[in-house]
Amino acid sequence: MAKIQGKRNSTKKEVIIEKASRLFREKGFGAASMRDLAEHVGVEAASLYNHIQSKSEILQTICFKVANEFMTNLEAVEASNQSTLKKMEAIIRLHIRMMLDQYEFVYIADHEWRHLPEPYLSNFLNQRRNYRKRLGDILEEGIGKGEIKAIDPYVAVLVILSAISGIDSWQRSRKSTSAEALESNMVKYLIEGLKK
Amino acid sequence: MAKIQGKRNSTKKEVIIEKASRLFREKGFGAASMRDLAEHVGVEAASLYNHIQSKSEILQTICFKVANEFMTNLEAVEASNQSTLKKMEAIIRLHIRMMLDQYEFVYIADHEWRHLPEPYLSNFLNQRRNYRKRLGDILEEGIGKGEIKAIDPYVAVLVILSAISGIDSWQRSRKSTSAEALESNMVKYLIEGLKK
DNA sequence: ATAAAATGCTAACGACTGTTAGCCAATTAT
DNA sequence: ATAATTGGCTAACAGTCGTTAGCATTTTAT
């Protein structure tokens, strides 16, 4: 049975996935070994397999957890009755926040999905394509209604998502740019390019 | 002696690096094996070592080749007498072009630098920090002269570079967006956010 | 033609990979 | 108290990794 861990309010499987996310980001999925991971969890490598089925399963869990979270949020935004600009701002802000406080997970979903085994790889890429398509549709609708500038929606989505995912190279140590300032400045830049 | 290859106007070392760049991008540095690479070059794994010294050396060559190319261009732009907007546009266009026609190399310098061994890793990161700093200085000067909008230069650099590096997820197959259209649309979006 | 250098090959080393088997102790359920 | 389950351990497997040694062949220089 999956019981509650003593210290924290999380199962050991969750601890494993959390530690793994850090390791996968630092070394890359291929270069991170199960023995490495085991050491960080405080256990022998073989013992990991009492909680997970394979190394790939960890990657799958992380990637689809992130994908589902973004997708759920997108659906909420789509169903809302805001203006196009407000919708885009909501999405942009969510992406930035996710990047800031679920950094490891988002990073892996962004950069290590290549190592997903089939059929999960195709599945993941389909979801991603679908997500971007629907973001583009929001922009296109906004253009049709004359709410935003007539920019190529595909390029705009590319720019917005890539810009945010680039926060991974942000130097958290810099005092000059706090998380809040980063978010507001980035929103400003990205939204400004959409306004008429 | 490093002699000229029969077919092409390139040494075998260059062929190895070219094939490796493709492989490193597809599988990641850690997951790409020398035996894999050897097969693509048409040779046994051990024979590679007649032309290179190690797997890491290939990564180093690629990363610093790209870094030097960008740095050289930046110096030319800095020395020029253009307006801030023109300077930024020149830099943006170069980045996009590099991304489009030296895709594999740029991708690796962007994503696989983590696997550089010390002291090359520190060296590379220093160069990158320096590059971004100087891009930020160009923007700051433009703001001081009142040529562009008073945006946070650090964030602007982050957005611009990240947006361009995100072209790696661009679907070349899409007929709807040619390389030229992509470039002009992207420049438009990114430059627009800088204008007053 | 002969020497020298470059480049290929096979075989192998030692280290490391993800994962499984089998056993034992601790915890939980009856 | 006893049985059942969970989760830890050690040992090991079969495979792959980057790399080196030693030898053979081809190409270049003299």
Q: Which residue has the higher pLDDT, B40 or B176?
A: B40
- Model confidence at B170, in pLDDT bands (50, 70, 90)? confident
Measure CB to CB from residue B158 to each of A161, A170, A181 and give the nearest one: A170
Q: Is B136 on the interface with A (CB under 8 A)?
A: no
User: Is it the case that residue B6 has pLDDT exceeding 90?
Assistant: no
Rounded alpha-carbon distances, angstroms, from residue B176 to A191, B84, B95, B102: 24, 32, 22, 22
- Model confidence at B178, in pLDDT bands (50, 70, 90)? confident
Q: Which residue is nearest to nucleotide D17 (CA to C1')?
A: B33
Q: Which of A138-142, B133-137, B144-148, B191-195 has the lowest mean pLDDT?
A: B191-195
Element (H, E) at A169: none
- Estimate in Å the CA B3 to C1' C2 gap, whole number: 22
What's the rounded Cα separation, in Å, for the pair A123 and A127? 6
Q: What integer is the mean pLDDT of A89-94? A: 96
| For the segment 24-53 of chain B, residues whose CB is within 7 A of strand C | 43-47, 50-51
**What integer pLDDT is reported at residue A13 of this predicted model?**
94
User: Is it the case that residue B122 has pLDDT exceeding 80?
Assistant: yes
What's the rounded Cα separation, in Å, for the pair B20 and B5? 17
Closest nucleotide (C1' vs CA) to B50 is C7
Q: What does residue A51 show for φ and ψ, rounded to 5 degrees? A: -120, -25
What three-state secondary structure class fits A135? helix
Q: Domains in chain A, start-ordered, CATH in brackets? A: 12-50 (1.10.10.60), 55-192 (1.10.357.10)
Q: Please give the mean pLDDT across all residues of chain A.
A: 90
Q: Is the sign of the CA dihedral B179, B184, B185, B191 positive or negative?
A: positive
Is omega for the bond preceding B119 within 30 degrees of 0, making it cis? yes
Q: What integer is the mean pLDDT of A147-162? A: 92
What's the rounded Cα separation, in Å, for the pair B132 and A18? 32
**First vs last Cα of chain A: how many Å apart?**
57
| For the segment 4-63 of chain A, residues whose CB is within 7 A of strand C | 32-36, 45-46, 49, 53-56
Q: What integer is the mean pLDDT of B61-78? A: 97
Q: What are the tokens at B92?
A: 């943006």
State CA A35 to chain mean position distance: 26
Contact A162 B166 (CB under 8 A): yes
Rounded alpha-carbon distances, angstroms, from residue A2 to A39, A40, A64: 21, 20, 21
Question: Burial code of A147-182, b = ≥16 C-beta within 10 A, e = fewer?
Answer: bbbebbbbbbbbbbbbbbbbbeebeeeeeebeeeeb
Q: What integer is the mean pLDDT of B74-96? A: 95
Element (H, E) at B170: none
Mutate to test the interface with B, among A96, A143, A159 (most CBs of B within 10 A): A159
Identify the top-confidence range among A40-44, B5-9, B164-168, B175-179: A40-44
Using alpha carbons, select from A193, A195, A128, A110 the residue that is nearest to residue A155: A193
